[in-house]
Amino acid sequence: MSLKRNILDLRKRKEKVLQGGGEKAIQKQVAMGKLTARERVTSILDEDSFHEYDMFVEHEARDFGMEKKELHGDGVIIGTGTIYGEPVCIFAQDFTVAGGSLGLMHARKITKIMDHALKMRVPLIGINDSGGARIQEGVNSLAGYGEIFFRNTLASGVIPQLSIILGPCAGGAVYSPALTDFVFVVENISKMFITGPEVIKTVLGEEITMEELGGAKVHSEITGNAHFYALSEYECFEQIKKLLTFIPWNNTKKAKAFPPKPPRPEYKIEEIVPSDPTQPYDIRNVIKSVVDDSDFFESMENFARNIVVGFGRMNGETVGFVANQPLVLAGVLDCDSSDKAARFIRYCNAFNIPIVTLEDMPGYLPGVDQEHMGVIRHGAKILYAYSEATVPKITVIIRKAYGGGYIAMNSRHMKADFMFAWPNAEIAVMGPDGAANIIFKKEIMAAADPEAMRKEKVAEYREKFANPYVAAAKGYIDTVIEPQETRNMLLHSIEVSSNKVDSRPAKKHGIPPF
Amino acid sequence: MGNLKEFNVDGTVYTTELTKKFENRKPWIRPNPKHINSFIPGTIVEILVKEGQEVKEGENLMILEAMKMKNQIKMPFDGKIAKVYVTEGEKVPNRLLMVEIE
């Protein structure tokens, strides 16, 4: 054969693979409201930047008539490309080929690109759309999952790992996304669960739809498995690209800096927070009043809303925000919010992102269910995450900082680098109402007018202890600032911290209260 | 702001939104030792005792089949069966009252 004929032959071979599972299967995919695997990859990556590998891989199954079947690319696409001109590794399961089922070669393709991503220290983006293990391949299929999980764990904290759930992701398959840093879900398309509705019905008699069991809303609101929720695949791709502007390409780098911008004038910091500590407001407006261009990119927006986490920029540099949300459950700490915050703090620490903590928190959520769900061990995760973090850590106490929660929320004692408080901050063991009831119990009960006495004692306690100056007198707070100074103090303290050197004892690893 | 409600933390009443999860939480009820509840959803395949029968601690009361396992439901202490709330072949959900002891 001449070279020309060889080239034509190559083109023909490629064309065949590009058809994926064929026209009928693609029509089915489209009818489900889904894009094809290739469309997804090219929509996420820079135009014409995708290069595919392992197109000609053939599957390994030799039983149950599978040897006669041709599965293009064995149901998964792998390759490299760029996003904003920076290199990434990507894989996308192709549901049109044997339902995206995972066989030995399918898994080998995924682990190949994972190894590549880790070696090249670039982000890994995985698109999950698969019916699960390829049953005809037996234990080889299970082994494939195991190899993927192991690599997810090796790469954790070294390169960013993003999982995009664009179809079913059931059984063992769910654990790869669960091991990655950020999980993206799309309404009506994403479905994640360990055991499906059919099994649940047969075994337990409980009837539930896939959407109710493990749909996008469930994972973004109830389970906390998903970080970003979108209404369409395209919105999801925009979220992925936006996230990538905030995070570094690996753990030895800093996130890309952008030109500094002031916050938008409509966010007036002094007008957001009511002085009465029992009244609600949206803490996200405080974040927007200090970050560049008031652009705050929130993660896990709908899960454990009593705490807010996400990224913003200050003078063009990425900062991670952790903030109590007085608008929801008064901003209490509980099992879910502790999990959410602790994981985010560890992400920031692993990827060299300074952490700003905004505190307005009345304590822990009381209740038998919280205690029995283990609020002790969950709450301990926040203490652990802040204590082990060595990135610049700055706290601003906006209003309430009561009890153990004050210590947990990146206090001086968790080795915060800078501790600021607004003049209306109340740093105390508990709120004045609760404290007065305990300290002055006898006086209140003995008084002719107990309610008047109670009010008097609450005021007395507030005057004496519910302010920032008792903590400032001991140096636990570095300075009390006016609200409008907040952005400048944050900018300055981040700048001062830019060459921060801090270390922890050498160890194999700690034992966080997982 | 959404639906604002009063919410007490350590004696202070805050005005705030509540979450669905918080509002749907199950109130805690002290377990009654004389009530035997199902611990898993499944099927009652066999009932071995009758109402009014004296039963010794550790004796089998019934078989609850779930996840292909035949679970023996045993008498927690010596006593008399006051009422049996389930029948053979019945599918039961989790935490259903099956037997009451006098």
- Residue contacts between A and B (CB atoms, under 8 Å): 87
Q: What is the pLDDT of residue B41?
A: 86
Per-residue pLDDT of A412-451, as tens digits, reads 999 999 999 999 999 998 888 888 889 999 999 999 999 9
Q: Which of A204, A437, A454 to mutate to test the interface with B (most CBs of B within 10 A)?
A: A204
Of A366, A344, A258, the closest CA to residue A298 belongs to A344
Helix or strand (DSSP H, E) at A495? helix A486-496
Same domain, A107 and A223: yes
Instruction: Provide, as residue numbers in chain A, all residues whose Cβ is less than 8 Å from the Cβ of B10.
Output: 362-363, 366, 402-403, 430-431, 433-434
pLDDT at A204 over 80: no
CATH number at residue A352: 3.90.226.10
Contact A305 B19 (CB under 8 A): yes
Q: Do B1 and A368 touch (CB under 8 A)?
A: no
> Do A342 and A332 belong to one domain?
yes
Residues A156 and A222 in one domain: yes
Q: Is there a contact between A361 and A331 (Cβ–Cβ < 8 Å)?
A: yes
Average pLDDT over residues A33-59: 96
User: Measured between beta carbons, which residues in chain A are less than 8 angstroms from residue B12?
Assistant: 277-278, 362, 431-434
In the predicted structure, residue A178 carries a pLDDT above the cut 90: yes
Domain of residue A394, residue span: 269-429+466-499
CB contact under 8 A, B10 and A403: yes
Rounded CA separation A113/A90 (Å): 7
d(CA A378, CA A354): 23
Cβ of A328 within 8 Å of Cβ of B19? The answer is yes
pLDDT bracket for residue A410 (50, 70, 90)? very high
A11 with A35, same domain: the answer is yes
pLDDT digits (tens, 9 = 90+) for A103-137: 999 999 999 999 999 999 999 999 999 999 998 88
Residue boundaries of the structural domains of chain B:
30-101
Bridge partners, A229 (sequence order): A185
User: A59 vs A312, which has greater pLDDT?
Assistant: A312
For residues A336 and A484, state if they share a domain.
yes
Q: What is the pLDDT of residues B57-70, one digit of tens each?
A: 999 999 999 888 99
Determine which of A369, A378, A426, A437 to mutate to test the interface with B (most B C-beta atoms within 10 Å).
A369
Count: domains in chain A: 3
How many CA atoms within 13 Å lie on the side-chain side of A187? 7
Is pLDDT above 80 for A41? yes
The DSSP call for residue A403 is H
Q: Is B79 on the interface with A (CB under 8 A)?
A: no
- Residues A139 and A238 reside in one and the same domain: yes
Same domain, A444 and A477: no
Same domain, A29 and A62: yes
Which single residue is written with the structure tokens 């705490």? A307
Domain end among A246, A279, A306: A246
Does residue A101 belong to any structural domain of this protein? yes
What pLDDT score was predicted for residue B67? Answer: 81
Indicate whether A8 and A155 sit together in one domain.
yes
Select B30-101's CATH number: 2.40.240.10, 3.40.50.10310, 2.40.50.500, 2.40.50.100.
Answer: 2.40.50.100
**DSSP track, A12-49:** HHHHHHHTTT-HHHHHHHHHTT---HHHHHHHHSPTT-
Residues A439 and A403 in one domain: no
Angle between helices A335-350 and A375-388 (to 10 degrees): 20
Q: Are A267 and A287 in contact (CB under 8 A)?
A: no
pLDDT of residue A512: 95
pLDDT value of position A66? 84
ipTM confidence score: 0.83
* Residues A415 and A457 occupy one common structural domain: no
Q: What is the pLDDT of residue A1?
A: 67
- To the nearest whole Å, the CA of A223 is away from the closest chain B CA by 10
Alpha carbons A479 and A483: distance in angstroms, whole number? 12
Q: Do B15 and A278 touch (CB under 8 A)?
A: yes
Q: Which helix (H) or strand (E) holds A361?
A: strand A355-361
Q: Does pLDDT of A256 surpass 80?
A: yes
Res A434: pLDDT? 87
Domain check: are A371 and A351 in the same one? yes
The answer, yes or no, to whether residue A322 has pLDDT greater than 90, is yes
Q: Cα–Cα distance between A252 and A257 in angstroms, integer?
A: 15
Q: Which residue of chain A comes nearest to B2, CA vs CA?
A: A327
Q: Average pLDDT, whole number, for chain A?
A: 95
**Is B26 in contact with A369 (Cβ distance < 8 A)?**
yes
B25 contacts chain A (CB < 8 A)? yes
Cα atoms found within 13 Å of the Cα of residue A466, Cβ hemisphere only = 22
Q: For residue B17, is pLDDT > 90?
A: yes
Lowest mean pLDDT, pick from A236-245, A332-341, B25-34: B25-34
